[in-house]
A = this chain, B = another copy of it.
Amino acid sequence: MSQVYSVAVVVGSLRKESYNRKVALALAELAPANLKLKIVEIGDLPLYNEDIDVDPPAAYKTFREQLRNSDAVLFVTPEYNRSVPGVLKNAIDVGSRPYGLSSWSGKPGAVISVSPGAVGGFGANHHLRQSLVFLDVPCMQQPEAYIGGAASLFDENGKLTEKTRPFLQTFIDKYAAWVERHQG
Report A's interface with B, CB cutoff 8 A. Answer: 13-16, 43, 45, 47-51, 80-94, 96, 118-120, 122-123, 126-127, 129-142, 144, 146, 148, 181-182
State the Cβ distance, A99 to closest chain B Cβ, in Å: 11
A109 to B, closest residue via Cβ:
B141
Cross-chain pairs A/B with CB under 8 angstroms, 19 sampled: A14-B50, A15-B49, A81-B96, A81-B131, A81-B134, A83-B89, A83-B92, A85-B93, A86-B87, A86-B92, A86-B94, A87-B90, A119-B120, A123-B130, A129-B129, A133-B142, A134-B141, A135-B141, A181-B182
Q: Report, nearest first, the 10 A-B pairs whose CB atoms are least far apart.
A: A86-B90, A86-B89, A14-B49, A136-B142, A81-B131, A82-B134, A47-B87, A122-B122, A80-B93, A86-B93
Residues of chain B within 8 A (CB-CB) of A15 are 49-51
Residue of B91, B122, B138 near A86 (CB, 8 A) is B91
| Known A120-B119, A127-B127, A130-B126: A135·B81 in contact at CB below 8 Å | yes
Copies of this chain in the oligomer: 4
Residue of B87, B130, B136, B140 near A83 (CB, 8 A) is B130
A122 to B, closest residue via Cβ:
B122
